[in-house]
Amino acid sequence: MLFEPNKEYERWKPQDDVMPEECGVFGIFTDDRRYDPAEATYLGLYALQHRGQESAGIAVSDGKGIKFHKGMGLCSEVFKDNLGPLLGGHIGIGHVRYSTTGDSMADNAQPLVMSYRGGKFAMAHNGNLINNTVLREKLEDEGTVFQTTIDTEVMANLIARYSKHGMLKAISAMMKVVRGAYALVIMTQDELIAVRDPQGIRPLALGKLDNSYVVASESCAFDAIDAEFVRDIRPGEIIVINKNGLKSYQAQSAMDTALCVFEYVYFARPDSDIDGISVYRSRENMGTRLAQAFPIDADLVSDVPDSATPAASGYAAESGIPYAKALAKNRYVGRTFIQPSQALRERGVKLKLNAIKRNVHGKKLILIDDSIVRGTTSRKIVEMLRLAGAREVHMLISSPPVICPCFFGIDTPSHDQLVGSKNSVEEIRKIIGADTLHYLSIGDLLKTVEGAGCNFCAGCFNGQYPVDIRRALKETETMDLMTIE
């Protein structure tokens, strides 16, 4: 049964016809003077920049206090002249943000730095709480004052509320209250803490740099600092790292795990491994399965760069049709080219992509993309290729139709703005102007991630979410926050 969301979930910000990014988190604990936490965190965030380009922030601890700097923009812009004052600590955490809950403004940049009975702590969050609004109202009714509009501050306030018996028990109590997706890095003056929600909806990994420990949203961040991937943090697990080493606590039993399968389709970098699966190999396998399901007589296979490139390579290898670039990408335009009007958004497609006429003129072309969200970009791309002389344009999508919004950390459109929610495949084909249009089935998509150490959420494709949203909201409404331990 499809969940019809309330108005509070039906937010849509003007942007490209893609699934917007989530957020990226990074943390490091080190006693090795060869590695400065601020520098390592900066490099880690740079590797995670694809997960969010609205804001960036770093907080560090030297054992005496917490220093931080954050702001709007890319890592290179935010820290251009501001990394120096952060140098010299032994713990660092960082965050790159794409806003899913809360407005895009400097106050909402992370990490959040909070005072509590034990001193100060900083926290960075990837994900989205589905009971955030109810929890915020309960806390406000009790006198809590909020400085931001993000659900991260709700979690931070809950941790502070339950901190009487220490940070570990406070985090465990918070996890009993919140519902939804969260991958957290938390820093006190003396400890680095990593937390993953009980269903593992958002990814979080553990790495090691000599005798130092690192955590990150994706393993590609470890490569940026020459750290070694150790393992994925388990759903419901809390990892505490301090001068005595690393300890793991299973705060909540892992529920029916539900990692977001769209990590493999689009979000994650292809050089990352998530829960035991290579992102690149899974995308390549998507293309292979597309070729097996939809053989097409064509002259060349190409991709909408860059996330669809491995799938196009897989299709070409399986079909025997040559691979060639049909579109050139402007590397200086970000993945989230936000403009205030539809006319400017559509013009933005031409700023990001341009047809390579010599490759497509007179050719029957198979074009692979990872998804179609609203359909506007696909229509512009097909039109661009036809103007460049393509005889035929066959569009193949390496995922199923997106028919539902996501409530767990991805800022997707509402039902009525998702072209796959209200149109058949044939109707979408006519809208975008392709000669043919084919999607990978959910069954084939899940086969590309077989062997993972988890199950998957495919709610945006089938409307089946890992959390009963109505039930979670009702439970929160009757919850007494004072009695949680």
**Binding site, annotated residues for Mg(2+):** 307, 369-370
Q: Give yes or no: 23 in active site.
A: yes
61: left (phi over 0), alpha (psi -120 to 50) or beta: beta
Which residues belong to the annotated binding site for [4Fe-4S] cluster? 260, 406, 457, 460
CA distances from 102 to 97, 152, 409, 420 (A): 11, 10, 11, 26
> Which structure tokens are listed for 313?
């390579």
Q: Which of 25, 26, 29, 27 is nearest to 242 (CA)?
A: 29
> Which structure tokens are listed for 171?
């985090």
Distance CA(150)–CA(160), nearest Å, equals 16
Catalytic one of 23, 220, 404, 454 = 23
Distance CA(240)–CA(248), nearest Å, equals 6
Q: Which long-range contacts (CB under 8 A, 24 or more apart) does 340-349 make?
A: 340/14, 341/14, 342/14, 342/376, 345/14, 345/15, 345/16, 345/376, 346/376, 346/380, 348/16, 349/16, 349/376, 349/377, 349/380, 349/381, 349/384
Which residues in 30-143 belong to E strands, given as ranges?
55-61, 66-72, 91-97, 112-116, 119-129
Which residues belong to the annotated binding site? 260, 307, 369-370, 406, 457, 460
Q: DSSP state, 310?
A: H
Chain centre distance of CA 154: 20
User: Amino acid letter at 143?
Assistant: G
Cross-strand pairs, 67: 60
Q: Are 355 and 388 in contact (CB under 8 A)?
A: yes
Cross-strand pairs, 71: 56
89-108 burial string, b = 16+ CB within 10 Å, else e? bbbbbbbbbbbbbbeeeeeb
User: Amino acid letter at 410?
Assistant: I
Other Cβ atoms less than 10 A from the Cβ of 33: the count is 8
Burial class (CB in 10 A: 0-12, 13-18, 19+), 242: middle
> Which structure tokens are listed for 26?
């990074």
Q: Is the previous residue joined to 306 through a cis bond, with omega within 30 degrees of 0?
A: yes
Q: DSSP state, 354?
A: E
Give the residue numbers marked as catalytic.
23
